[in-house]
Structure 1
Amino acid sequence: MKIEYNTIMERDRNDLATEIFYAALKAVDPYNAVRLYTDKIRSIYQGGDFNRLIVIAFGKAACPMAKAVEDELGDLIDTGIAITKSSGKEETPLHPSTRGEDTNSPCLFTPSPLHHFTLFNANHPVPDEKGLKATDEVIKLIKGADEKAIVLCLISGGGSALLVSPCEGITLSEKQEITELLLKAGADIYELNTVRKHISKVKGGRLAEIAYPARIISLILSDVIGDRLDVIASGPTAPDRTTFRDALMVLDKYGLIDIAPENVIKLLQKGAEGLIKETPKDGDLIFKNVDNIIIASNRKALEAAKARAEGLGFNAEIISSEITGEAREVGKWLADIARAKCSNRSNRSTCLISGGETTVTVKGNGKGGRNMELAIAFAMEIEGIKGITLLSAGTDGTDGPTDAAGAIVDGETIKKARAMGLNPEEYLDNNDSYNFFKKTDELYITGPTGTNVMDIQIVIIEK
C-alpha cells in the first residue's frame, strides 16, 4: 500500500533512509538468491551421470549461501567447505532468517549451524594464514574430482582475499604486502584483482583448471561494477581477460615497481616474457563444462531501493549503479546533484539513489572507509542547507577496517562538528572519517548483513 506523502515526512529522515536501504539488502539476500537455483542443480545432478556434489563457498556471503544449499540439497552433498570473513573472534555460521516485511530490522540473519560444511573464518581484505589453510583444503578436495562430480562454487565479494594460495616462489607475507600497497595507493578492484590473479594458484580461472574435468556450477553474488565474471573474487572459475603484462602495468601506474616485493616483480616479469604459463583464457577446454551465473547485483539492490522509495511517496531516481573514483570527489559530485535538486524543489520529496564502489588514496594514519570519507565530503558541501540527508553504506555492513557500515549526514553535520571543536578538513586529510563520525554520533552501524553487492548511497531531499 502506498503511504501518503505528508504522513511519511512526519517520520525521521534517517529512519526513511534506513528503510529504503534495508529494502535494497532484502532484494539481494544471498540465501534466497541461491534457493532460486537449487531445483535446477538437483535436476542437473539427477539427470546426469553424477555421483558426487562438492560445495565450495567463499566470500562475505559464504555462510548464508551455503546454508541455502544445505537446506535444499543436503541429501546430495558429499562434502562442503565454507570460507568467510572473520570478525576476530570465534563465530557461529550464520544465515538469514525469515524476515517477512520488516525491512527496518538491524539484524539480517540469525545463527544456525552448518552440518555439511567445514567452516573457516579468515581475514579480509588482506589475506591471512587461516585463509591459506582453508584454500589448501579446497585444493585437496577438488583435485580428487572427476567427470562424475559436480563442484558447486558459491562465490561472493571478498573471495579474492579469503580464497588465497600464492604461486610457487611467493610467500603469504609478500602477497599481504602487495595487497596493502595497492589498497593504500587507491587501486580499484579491477587493478587490484589483475595483480592478484597473476600471483595466485586459484584465481583467474585456475580453480576451474584444478577441478577439471568435473562439472562446475558457480552461483555468484556480484560486488563489481559491470558484473565482470573475471573480476568478482578474481574470477576463480572464469576465463581471465588480463595478462602478466597488465599486472606489471598496474604496479607501474601506482609507482610500486621499486617498492613491491622482489619475488612478486620477478614472477610477473617472467610471466610477461612467456616463461610462466598465463592464466586460462576464453576458449580453453577447461571451461567447456563450467557455468558461471550472476544471482544478485548492485543494480538489483538499487531497483528495490527505488521501488521502496516510490512506495513511500518519494519521487525516486537511480543516478548510477557504476559509481567509481576517489570517495571524497564522489561525495562532492553527489552533493552538487543534491543542491541542484534542492534549488528546484517540486511538490514531492525526492530520493536519489546510487551505487558502486569508490576508492580511497590513503595519505593519513586515521581510521575509516570509503563510505564515511564520501559522507564527510558530502556534508562539507551541503553545510547549512536544510532538508538534505545522505546515507552511504556498504551492503556487507562494513566500511573499511571498522565496525560501521558507513554514515548518515545532513546539512547540520558540519555545523555540529565545528561547535564541538572538530575540524572536518583535518579528519578528511588524515583519512580519519570513522573517529569524526564517532564523535558526531553519525556512524551507521548494522552489523554483518550476510550479503555484499558493493555500496549504496541514498539521498533524501525534502520538498
Structure 2
Amino acid sequence: MEPAQARADVEQIFSTVIAELRAERLVERALQLEAGAIQIQGERYSLPPGARLVVVAIGKAAIGMAAGAERALNCRIDRGLVVTKRGFAVHAGLTHFEVREASHPVPDESSLAAGQAVLAAVSGLERDDLVLTLISGGGSALVEALRPGITLDDLASTTQLLLRAGADIWLLNAVRQRLSLIKAGGLARAAAPARVVNLLISDVLGSPLPVIASGPSVDPGPVLADPGDTIRGLGIWEELPVAVRRALEQPWQPDPVRNVAQNVVLADARRLAELAKRAAERRGYQSVVLGDRFVGEAREFARFWCTLARHIHERGEPWHPPVCLIGTGELTVTVRGQGAGGRNTEMALAAALELDGVSGVAVASLASDGDDGISGAAGGVVTGQTAGAIRRAGLDPKQLLRENDSARGLAAAEALLVTGPTGTNVNDLYLAMIR
C-alpha cells in the first residue's frame, strides 16, 4: 500500500472517530437544565433555592468536558474547577471555571497544588448541594494530596520506576491509591454530605470505576490485591523509596463512599472500536473488530498484528481484502534506552520492521488523546516502505527500537501522525489495512 494512501485512510478514520468522541459533545448530550433541577442521563436531581452546583473536571479531556457542562448548565454553575495536562488548556475559553494545568505522567508541585484546589472546591457543602465530577484519563498524575509520611519525591520516583518497568494502569493506580488522600473516593468523601454525580470518559479497559483516574469520586469497592508481590516480580521493589514500601506493606481498607448518586461512563475503548469500524467501512474496507482490550508489550503486539495482516494479504483468508482489522487497548513499553517515544510509536516502529518490503499492508497505532508518551504525536502510520525510508535517512530502525527511540525513526520517515490534543481520552486504536 502506498504511504500516501494509507495515511489518508488512517487520518480520515481517526478524525471521524474523534469527532464523535469529543468530550464537549458527550457531556452536553448527557445534561439538561430544568427549573429547579438538572437531568443527568435521565435521572433528575433537584436544586432547591440556595443549593449550590459545583463542577470539577479532571483529566486530559477536562477542558472539553467542562465546555460541555458550561454549554448545558451555563450560569447555574456556582463553582467550577478544571485540572488538565500542561499544554492542554490552550484557548480554553471557559467563563465559569478556574483552569489549572498540572504535570503528567509524573506528578510535580503543580499536581499537589491542584489536589488542594480540588479539595477546597468541594469543601463546606451541604446535603442539598450537588457536585458534578467530570473525570477522564490522566487524572491520577494531575491531582494529588499525599498521605502523611509520603513526599512528592517519593511519589515521582515511584511513578517513574513503575512506568519504566512496564507496569500497567491497574498496578500503577493500585500503588497511587495507597499513597493518596484524594484517590479511592477521597474527593467524594471531602464533598459529603453533598450529592456527587460522576460523568466519566474511560481510558481503562473494561471501565472499572475505581481505576479510572484512580477513582477520586467513586466507591473503591473491594480493595485490590496487595501490589507488593507484582512489584517484586518486576524487580524494582528494593528501588522504591522506603516510605513507599512501608505504606504498601501496611493493611489498607479505605472507608466506603456513601454520597455518590450516579456514575455514567460516556465513552470507552469499546465505543472507540465500534466507531472506527463504521468509519473504515465508509472508506471501502470490510471491517473486523478483533478485540477492545489488547494489552502486552508494544513490540510483541506489533509482531502478532502484522503476522495476521500478512496472512490475510497473502492468502485472502479468513477475510478477502480490502480489509481493515481494528483493535483497541493499552500496550506497555519496558524502557531500556534513553530515546523519545510512546507505546504507540513503539508499536508502529516495530510494525515497520515486521512489514519491511511487504506491499499492500499498512498499520497504525494511535493514542485517542493525541498524546503518546513523549513522542509529540498521537502515534504512527507505517507500511512496507517505512523501514527503508528510515534507513535512507541514515538511521537504523532496529537500533532505534532497542533504544526506545521510536519517535525519531518515524519522524525521519514522515510516519508520525501529529494531531495535538484531541479533546477525548479512550485508550489507543490499532488498525491493519490490507488492500
Check 1:354–1:180 CA distance in 2 against 1; reply closer, same or farther (3 A cut). Answer: same
1:84 paired residue number: 84
User: Is 1:351 matched with 2:328?
Assistant: no
What is the aligned residue count?
Answer: 426
**Partner of 1:220: helix, strand, or coil?**
strand
Deviation at 1:140, TM superposition (A): 1.7
> For residue 338 of structure 1, what is the amino acid of its counterpart?
A
**Partner of 2:227: helix, strand, or coil?**
helix
**Partner of 1:287: helix, strand, or coil?**
coil
Deviation at 1:353, TM superposition (A): 1.0
| More displaced stretch, 151-160 vs 126-135 | 126-135
User: Is 1:33 matched with 2:6?
Assistant: no
User: Is 1:140 matched with 2:133?
Assistant: no
2:275 paired residue number: 304
Distance in 2, Cα, partners of 1:399 & 1:298: 16
Deviation at 1:258, TM superposition (A): 1.2
Deviation at 1:183, TM superposition (A): 0.3
1:327 paired residue number: 298
- Native 8 Å contact 2:63 2:92 kept in 1: no
Distance in 2, Cα, partners of 1:136 & 1:431: 36
Distance in 2, Cα, partners of 1:347 & 1:221: 35
Matches within 5 A, 1:407-422: 407-422=380-395
> For residue 171 of structure 2, what is the amino acid of its counterpart?
E
Check 1:58–1:348 CA distance in 2 against 1; reply closer, same or farther (3 A cut). Answer: same
Distance in 2, Cα, partners of 1:73 & 1:343: 55
- Native 8 Å contact 1:398 1:447 kept in 2: yes
2:38 paired residue number: 42
Distance in 2, Cα, partners of 1:455 & 1:400: 12
1:223 paired residue number: 203
- Native 8 Å contact 2:313 2:321 kept in 1: no
- Native 8 Å contact 2:81 2:118 kept in 1: yes
- Native 8 Å contact 2:77 2:96 kept in 1: yes
2:414 to 428, 435, 441: 441
- Native 8 Å contact 2:201 2:425 kept in 1: yes
2:368 paired residue number: 395
> For residue 392 of structure 2, what is the amino acid of its counterpart?
A
- Gap runs ≥5 in structure 2: none
Scaled by the length of structure 1, the TM-score of the pair is 0.88
Matches within 5 A, 1:188-227: 188-227=168-207
1:124 paired residue number: 104
> For residue 352 of structure 1, what is the amino acid of its counterpart?
L
> For residue 74 of structure 1, what is the amino acid of its counterpart?
N
Check 1:308–1:50 CA distance in 2 against 1; reply closer, same or farther (3 A cut). Answer: farther
2:288 paired residue number: 317
Check 1:212–1:461 CA distance in 2 against 1; reply closer, same or farther (3 A cut). Answer: same
Deviation at 1:46, TM superposition (A): 3.5
> For residue 279 of structure 1, what is the amino acid of its counterpart?
P
- Native 8 Å contact 2:102 2:108 kept in 1: yes
Deviation at 1:278, TM superposition (A): 1.8
1:381 paired residue number: 354
Deviation at 1:49, TM superposition (A): 7.5
Scaled by the length of structure 2, the TM-score of the pair is 0.93
1:13 paired residue number: 6
Deviation at 1:255, TM superposition (A): 2.2
Deviation at 1:28, TM superposition (A): 1.3
Check 1:47–1:419 CA distance in 2 against 1; reply closer, same or farther (3 A cut). Answer: closer
Distance in 2, Cα, partners of 1:157 & 1:10: 32
1:99 paired residue number: none
| More displaced stretch, 341-350 vs 452-461 | 341-350
**Partner of 2:203: helix, strand, or coil?**
coil
> For residue 81 of structure 1, what is the amino acid of its counterpart?
L
- Native 8 Å contact 2:306 2:432 kept in 1: no
Distance in 1, Cα, partners of 2:434 & 2:14: 16
Deviation at 1:311, TM superposition (A): 1.8
**Partner of 2:199: helix, strand, or coil?**
strand
Distance in 2, Cα, partners of 1:130 & 1:453: 24
- Native 8 Å contact 1:316 1:353 kept in 2: yes
Distance in 2, Cα, partners of 1:461 & 1:279: 50
Instruction: Give every structure 1 segment of 4 or more consecutive aligned residues whose post-TM-superposition deviation is greater than 3 Å.
Output: 43-50, 241-245
1:278 to 235, 253, 266: 253
Listed one character per residue, the Cα deviations across residues 404-463 of structure 1 (whole Å, up to 9, x for unaligned) are 11111001111222333322111111111011112222111111111111110122110x
> For residue 75 of structure 2, what is the amino acid of its counterpart?
D
**Partner of 2:399: helix, strand, or coil?**
helix
